[in-house]
Chains A and B, each alone.
Chain A
Amino acid sequence: MPIQYYIALAVILFSIGVVGVLTRRNAIIIFMCIELMLNATNLLLVAFSKMHHGAALAADAATKVGVEGQLFVFFVMVVAAAEVSVGLAIIVMMYRNVHSVDINFLNRLKN
């Protein structure tokens, strides 16, 4: 499968995530769109890792080129899980204080 198809798919998913962050006001939906963007980059990392592996496989049958890309996806998932736990705790605390998850209420952080 040409790598450009994978790039196009990941770019479309990423842009949908960007539009979601820009157009929605619910903090939880915005958070979900960030997860969507992270997943688009993960998919692209795996596709690139298989691309380099396929190129190196022709020269050496036992090559391990490309393992790093998939390990990086693993670490991205680790960081995303930690981020979600802290972020949802922040959203719960915000809901407890202002009884809404509308991000426009957060402008009081200014002063």
Chain B
Amino acid sequence: MGTTQLLFWLLSALSIFSAMMVLISKNPVHSVLWLVLVFFTISGHYILLNAQFLFIVNLIVYAGAIMVLFLFVIMLMNLNKDAEPQKSIWMKLAGAISGGSLLLIFVSVVRSASEMQSKQALLKTGNIGLIDQLGKTLFSEYVIPFEISSVLFLSAMVGAVAIGKKH
């Protein structure tokens, strides 16, 4: 087993464990910190797949901006106390069972799909994830969606201010 395979298994185990801990933690601040760890491991997977631009964007946007926004809101509302109202044990059991059956269906579909049997994801090589390739495609073929997303950001900003301000 090479270093790449070892890293893949390590990152996968760590990301699944921290995703479970996001659910199990009672304290919302701990959940946010575990979720940051999930994002770090997913960024590690992007590095393994040689998607370097997405690696750095994932770190900056998700682990940096979005999670800091979550932490900010939690601390602003003083929610970091353990007395969170819990659902009843039956509701939790029903949720876990339905999520587990969704997982079961997904896994059985993937295992029986003949198109996916012998396909390999290219690790470490391939230069499509570099910023030069992505930038050329983004600013030649996908320039209209890029500009539309700037309008989306503007409307999200206006919406956040309009919703958040005191009446």
Tell me how far the C-beta of B87 lies from the nearest C-beta in chain A, rounded to whole angstroms. Answer: 6
Q: State the majority secondary structure of interface residues on B.
A: helix
Count A-side interface residues using an 8 Å CB cutoff: 75
* Residues A64 and B137 in contact, CB atoms below 8 Å apart: yes
> When A50-B121, A88-B70, A101-B77 are in contact, do A23 and B23 touch as well, CB less than 8 Å?
yes
Which residue in B22, B79, B87, B103 is a CB contact (below 8 Å) of A36? B22
| Residues of chain B at the chain A interface (Cβ within 8 Å) | 4-5, 8, 12, 15-16, 19-20, 22-23, 28, 31-32, 35, 38-39, 42, 45-46, 49-51, 53-54, 57-58, 61-62, 65-66, 69-70, 73-74, 76-77, 79, 84-87, 91-92, 94-96, 98-100, 102-103, 106-107, 110-111, 116-123, 126, 128-129, 133-134, 137-138, 142, 145, 149, 152-153, 155-157, 159-161, 163-164, 166
> Could you list some 23 contacts between A and B, CB below 8 A?
A2-B120, A8-B110, A15-B99, A19-B100, A33-B22, A33-B23, A39-B62, A42-B54, A46-B46, A46-B54, A46-B129, A49-B128, A55-B119, A74-B134, A77-B57, A77-B61, A78-B149, A78-B153, A84-B70, A86-B156, A89-B161, A90-B163, A104-B85
